[in-house]
């Protein structure tokens, strides 16, 4: 469309200069790790942030349980309250930052803020995984934004990458290490040869794991995040309830060592993959400990770091790496969302970046999560046997059960505890989970087999 340059300039000059624009007024619930980091970074970098946002961003009210502690962080300039609803509906607040966590009350505060016409920013992945569809629908109805970059792999702008940077692509898959606690534990198990319980205790002692680490080690936290990424990648609602979730509590040090022998490392992966082949049409949405080739970039993401890979049909594979937790690391994402909200002034709701990357009418309500049985991957099997001679019998038996065996070998002495029976290690080609489940079940009854068979997925994550 032709635009008269003189008229455009005139229109621009009519806009208020950045300095004259009213500050974006923020109310925040919770001033713990994320809240305090957000306040600190906002104060420290206020000039740069205002320069980018086109206006200043000002914290006007904070809700905390301990007002004395909160005042120690925010000083006397910011109003304080014990009542979260007061912040959510405060007449002088333009945007609510929910930094308290939890799902029940947080849902009520966020919905109240939306109904009061406020934008909302949260890093609370549990809240959005469970109530995101309801929250995004309410936000659309009221013409406000809900932003959540901090909810997934905090310092990595992966939501922005999917919603904005990769919009040309049909996304084929998203996969990554999106829980720092479990990655720290798995790194310890591999590097120091310790078992899960000891690695967890070390993670707790160093502050990498909560006193109650259930959400992390059972894979739920990663499932919250991969559900949000899948929605943004494929144009589907948030389907956390349908995700297949397996944590690392049952993972044995023996399998970490056997994977190493085969040239792999075990990582807790979140995987969202679009499938349209044969009788399977839908999305694989899963979290599980999986073998990754030791030469793969993801295998070298250690300690509490996160990394996400995205395969787009045009971009090919891209990878994003950074801290998955931390006070200022999360603040970096929360403030980026604040800047986006500050820039919204004058932009009609329909023209904004949609909450889940796709405009509501383009979200495919029918796009479902495939059942576990239909998931199609390579597998690693560890089969304890009475005698090393039975290695061939195991391979033949699996082949007879329609498991496409690719490689069979004995676990070497270095991988096994002293006095252990022999273990046959098997790598398969891609095969449906249903076939593997049947074969493992049948193998358990085989006379050559001396104990429980372990099956883990293998992910090559190739372009
Ligand atoms: N920490 C991270 O690295 C990180 C990274 C990404 C996302 N997140 C998410 O960010 C959110 C906050 O996490 P966080 O690590 O900052 O937690 P946190 O350190 O425990 O801080 C939460 C704060 O909220 C306060 N709070 C809770 N309920 C409240 C209520 N009803 N009224 C007033 N204050 C209330 C708590 O007060 P008390 O201290 O009195 O309990 C606490 O100060 C969570 O959803 C988390 O999943 C955190």
Task: List per-residue pLDDT tens for the chain, 463 residues long.
Answer: 445 544 544 554 455 555 458 999 999 999 999 999 999 999 999 999 999 999 999 999 999 999 999 999 999 999 999 999 999 999 999 999 999 999 999 999 999 999 999 999 999 999 999 999 999 999 999 999 999 999 999 999 999 999 999 999 999 999 999 999 999 999 999 999 999 999 999 999 998 888 899 999 999 999 999 999 999 999 999 999 999 999 999 999 999 999 999 999 999 999 999 999 887 899 999 999 999 999 999 999 999 999 999 999 999 999 999 999 999 999 999 999 999 999 998 899 889 999 999 999 999 999 999 999 999 999 999 999 999 999 999 999 999 999 999 999 999 988 898 889 999 999 999 999 999 999 999 998 898 999 999 999 999 998 8
Give the whole-angstrom CA distance, residue 304 versus residue 202. 13
Ligand 1 midpoint to CA 345 (Å)? 29
Residue 107 near residue 127 (C-beta atoms within 8 A) = yes
The domain 372-458: what is its CATH number?
Answer: 3.30.70.260
The predicted structure's pLDDT at residue 20: 58
Q: End-to-end CA distance of the chain, in Å?
A: 39
Top mutation candidate among 70, 83, 100 for ligand 1, by most atoms within 8 Å of CB: 100
Question: Which atom, in ligand 1's list, is nearest to the CA of 83?
Answer: 32
Q: Which fold has domain 13-155+329-362?
A: Rossmann fold (3.40.50)
For residues 69 and 36, give the distance between their C-alpha atoms in angstroms, rounded to a whole number: 11
What is the CB-side half-sphere exposure of residue 440 using CA atoms within 13 A?
A: 19
pLDDT at residue 17, rounded to an integer: 55
Closest atom of ligand 1 to CA, residue 221: 47
Three-state SS for 246-283 is CCCCCCCHHHHHHHHHCCEEEEEEEEEEEEEECCEEEE
Residue ranges matching CATH 3.30.360.10 in the chain: 160-323
Backbone torsions φ then ψ of 348, nearest 5 degrees: -60, 145
Whose C-alpha lies nearest to ligand 1, atom 33? 64
What is the distance, to the nearest Å, from the Cα of residue 347 to the centroid of all Cα atoms in its chain?
Answer: 29
Per residue, the 3-state secondary structure of 129-184, as one string, reads HHHHHHHHHHHHHHCCCEECHHHCCCCCCHHHHHHHHCCCCCEEEEEEECCHHHHH
Separation CA 442–CA 446 (nearest Å): 7
The residue whose CA has the least distance to atom 7 of ligand 1 is: 123
Q: State the DSSP string of 424-439.
A: EEEEE-SEEHHHHHHH
Q: Please give the distance, rounded to the nearest whole angstrom, from the Cα atom of residue 35 to the centre of ligand 1.
A: 7
pLDDT score recorded for residue 259: 97
Enumerate residues lining ligand 1, CB below 6 A.
29-35, 63-66, 84, 99-101, 105, 123-124, 150, 154, 325-326, 330
272 Cα: distance to centroid of ligand 1 (angstroms): 28
CATH architecture of 160-323: 2-Layer Sandwich (3.30)
Nearest atom in ligand 1 to 63's CA: 33
pLDDT for the residue 13: 46
For residue 288, what are its two tokens?
A: 């599980």
| Closest approach atom of ligand 1 to CA 100 | 24
- Ligand 1 centroid to Cα of residue 34, in Å, is 7
Residue from 28, 29, 31, 34 to probe ligand 1 pocket by mutation (most atoms less than 8 Å from CB): 34
Q: How far is the CA of 64 from the centre of ligand 1 (A)?
A: 10
CA 439 to each of CA 197, 227, 254, 388: distance values in angstroms, whole numbers, following the listed order:
30, 30, 21, 20
The model carries a pTM of 0.94
Ligand 1 centroid distance, CA of 305 (Å): 21
Between CA 338 and CA 24 the distance in angstroms is 8
What are the tokens at 151? 């909810």
Best residue for ligand 1 mutational test, from 85, 101, 180 (most atoms within 8 Å of Cβ): 101
Domain with CATH 3.40.50.720 in the chain: 13-155+329-362
Residue minimizing CA distance to atom 18 of ligand 1 = 32
Q: Specify the ligand 1 atom closest to the Cα of 98.
A: 11
Secondary structure (3-state) at 119: strand
Which residues, other chains included, contact 61 with Cβ-Cβ below 8 Å and sequence gap of 6+? 27, 28, 78, 79, 80, 81, 86, 87, 90, 92, 93
d(Cα 445, Cα 382) in Å, to the nearest integer? 15
Query: Which positions are annotated as active-site residues?
Result: 225
């Amino acid at each position: 469309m032709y635009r008269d340059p003189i008229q455009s300039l005139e229109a621009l000059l009519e806009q208020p200069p950045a300095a004259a624009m009213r500050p974006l007024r923020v109310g925040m619930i919770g001033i713990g790790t994320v809240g305090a980091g957000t306040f600190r970074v906002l104060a420290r970098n206020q000039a740069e942030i205002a320069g980018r946002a086109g206006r200043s961003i000002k914290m006007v009210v904070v809700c905390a349980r301990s007002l004395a502690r909160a005042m120690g962080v925010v000083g006397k300039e910011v109003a304080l309250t014990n009542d979260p609803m007061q912040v959510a509906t405060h007449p002088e607040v333009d945007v609510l930052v929910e930094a308290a966590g939890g799902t029940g009350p947080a849902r009520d505060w966020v919905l109240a803020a939306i109904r009061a016409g406020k934008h909302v920013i949260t890093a609370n992945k549990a809240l959005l995984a469970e109530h995101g569809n309801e929250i995004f629908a309410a936000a659309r109805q009221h013409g406000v934004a809900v932003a959540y970059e901090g909810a997934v792999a905090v310092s990595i702008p992966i939501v922005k990458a999917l919603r904005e940077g990769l919009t040309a692509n049909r996304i084929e898959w998203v996969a990554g290490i999106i829980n720092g606690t479990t990655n720290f534990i798995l790194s310890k198990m591999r590097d120091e040869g310790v078992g899960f319980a000891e690695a967890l205790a070390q993670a707790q002692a160093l502050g990498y794991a909560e006193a109650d680490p259930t959400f992390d080690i059972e894979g739920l936290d990663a499932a919250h995040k991969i559900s949000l990424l899948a929605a943004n990648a494929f144009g589907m609602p948030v389907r956390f309830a349908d995700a297949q979730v397996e944590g690392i509590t049952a993972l044995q040090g023996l399998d970490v060592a056997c994977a190493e022998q085969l040239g792999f490392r075990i990582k807790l992966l979140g995987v969202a993959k679009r499938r349209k082949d044969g009788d399977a049409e839908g999305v694989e949405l899963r979290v599980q400990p999986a073998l990754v080739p030791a030469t793969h970039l993801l295998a070298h993401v250690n300690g509490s770091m996160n990394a996400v890979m995205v395969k787009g049909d045009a971009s090919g594979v891209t990878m994003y790496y950074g801290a998955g937790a931390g006070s200022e690391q999360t603040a970096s994402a929360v403030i980026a969302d604040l800047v986006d909200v500050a820039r919204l002034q004058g932009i009609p709701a329909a023209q904004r970046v949609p909450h889940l990357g796709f405009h509501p009418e383009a979200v495919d309500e029918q796009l479902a999560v495939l059942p576990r049985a239909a998931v199609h991957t390579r597998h690693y099997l560890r089969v304890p046997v009475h005698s090393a001679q039975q290695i061939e019998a195991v391979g033949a038996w699996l082949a007879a059960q329609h498991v496409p065996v690719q490689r069979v070998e004995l676990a070497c002495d270095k991988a096994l505890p002293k006095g252990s029976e022999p273990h046959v290690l098997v790598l398969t080609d891609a095969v449906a989970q249903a076939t593997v489940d049947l074969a493992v079940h049948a193998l358990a009854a085989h006379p050559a087999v001396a104990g429980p068979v372990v099956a883990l997925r293998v992910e090559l994550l190739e372009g």
